[in-house]
Homo-oligomer: A and B are copies of this chain.
Amino acid sequence: MSTHRRGLFAGSAAIASAMALPAAAQNAQTGNTPAAQAQAPGFYRFKVGNLTVTTVHDGFFRRPVEGFVRNAPASEVREVLADSFMPPDTLTVPFTVTFVETPRGLVVFDTGTGGQAAPTAGQLATNLRAAGLDLGQVRAVVISHFHGDHITGLTTAQNEPVFPQAEIFVPAAEWAWWTDEGNQTRSPEGQRGNFANTARRFGPYRDRIRQVQDGAEVLPGIRAISAPGHTPGHTCYHVSDGDAQMIFLADVTNRPELMMPRPDWQIVFDFDPEMAVQTRRRMLDRVATDRIRVTGYHFPFPANGYVTRQDQGFRFVPADWTTAL
């Protein structure tokens, strides 16, 4: 091939293209350009067999990297963040909620923040409407655990139900723990607010709460998988239709960029950190071995992909983005 090869920035004469647009045209153009600053609506769809899964972004909160991991120095945490080109000092923790359209109606796993947490969160209802769905349609709210960012969206700031048509499915072990005030002193100090929030958020749904045991079929094709440690009753859910399957991993990991490479890291939100690590390793091992698609509550949007082994840990592999459902 006869193409000339040149060194980068070899100093060949730059064309006078900087002046290519007449000033008048430039101004007109600047005036014509709308202030198009918004991101596309935060929802993404894929199929699991005949079921349509839609992940919907609720926003994010930010916290210092310092103090997030209990059993590793911040310097080491920063190195792992840098491997994923994430900033060193501030951790952005996204919230993305998994919806499943089933023959029995719309199902949602966890509720988002209900606009009552960080000012950078609370976009769930808007993004869901952009997807052609509405929180009011939801027939089943399936809860992984009772941390505030997962259940506060059950009700408004005035504690009115956000899901008027829904039954609420909760892990039995989670219900047992957070509804017994006697467990307050046996809970980490930072998690004791969950007792009051549990009473408050589930209160308006009291006659529509269904406790779910490990392994139980919540609805056809949706089955509970006990995954304790992050909280006493933390639960994942297996969704299947025919041979197709996925698992909602909930908070088995926080951001996968951090915790998949270092599954032994214990984070500040873990109720029983050692059990959380055991569960994390078991669940990641399972989905990596069986190559099962997963969604996660704190995964980067659109929060769906696969888990592969890497070095002594794992790595999250986002699923291919496609308009082809």
> Which residues of A line the B interface, CB within 8 A?
1-15, 17-18, 20-21, 25-26, 29-30, 32-45, 52, 54, 57, 59-60, 83-86, 92, 94, 101, 103-106, 120, 123, 130-133, 137, 139-140, 165, 167, 169, 173, 177, 186, 210-220, 223, 225-226, 228, 232-233, 271-272, 275, 291, 300-302, 305-306, 308, 317-325
The answer to whether A210 touches B322 (Cβ under 8 A) is no
Which residue of the partner chain B has the closest CB to A120?
B324
CA A131 to CA B40, docked complex, whole Å: 7
| Residues of B contacting A272 in the complex (Cβ-Cβ under 8 angstroms) | 1, 3
Cβ 8 A contact of A132, one of B38, B94, B318? B38
The answer to whether B186 touches A105 (Cβ under 8 A) is no
Highest count of chain B CB atoms <10 Å: which of A42, A318, A321:
A321
CA A212 to CA B18, docked complex, whole Å: 12
| Residues of B contacting A306 in the complex (Cβ-Cβ under 8 angstroms) | 85
The answer to whether A271 touches B105 (Cβ under 8 A) is no
**Interface residues of A: mostly helix, strand, loop or mixed?**
loop
Cβ 8 A contact of A219, one of B10, B17, B45, B57? B17
The answer to whether A217 touches B43 (Cβ under 8 A) is no
CA A240 to CA B2, docked complex, whole Å: 31
Highest count of chain B CB atoms <10 Å: which of A4, A44, A217:
A4
Cβ 8 A contact of A9, one of B6, B131, B215? B215
CA A10 to CA B140, docked complex, whole Å: 24
The answer to whether B5 touches A228 (Cβ under 8 A) is yes
Highest count of chain B CB atoms <10 Å: which of A7, A39, A306, A318:
A39
How many chain copies does the complex carry? 2
| Residues of B contacting A32 in the complex (Cβ-Cβ under 8 angstroms) | 137
The answer to whether B169 touches A17 (Cβ under 8 A) is yes
Which residue of the partner chain B has the closest CB to A276?
B1
The answer to whether A8 touches B104 (Cβ under 8 A) is no
The answer to whether A105 touches B26 (Cβ under 8 A) is yes
Query: A45 with B39: in contact, given A33-B106, A324-B120 (CB under 8 Å)?
Result: yes
| Residues of B contacting A120 in the complex (Cβ-Cβ under 8 angstroms) | 324
Query: A14 with B320: in contact, given A20-B210, A42-B40 (CB under 8 Å)?
Result: no
| Residues of B contacting A104 in the complex (Cβ-Cβ under 8 angstroms) | 21, 26, 29-30
| Residues of B contacting A36 in the complex (Cβ-Cβ under 8 angstroms) | 52, 54, 101, 131-133
| Residues of B contacting A59 in the complex (Cβ-Cβ under 8 angstroms) | 323
Highest count of chain B CB atoms <10 Å: which of A11, A84, A323:
A323
| Residues of B contacting A132 in the complex (Cβ-Cβ under 8 angstroms) | 34-36, 38
Query: A173 with B3: in contact, given A13-B213, A105-B29 (CB under 8 Å)?
Result: yes
- Closest 10 CB pairs between A and B? A36-B132, A29-B105, A3-B232, A1-B272, A14-B216, A12-B213, A6-B214, A301-B321, A9-B215, A85-B306
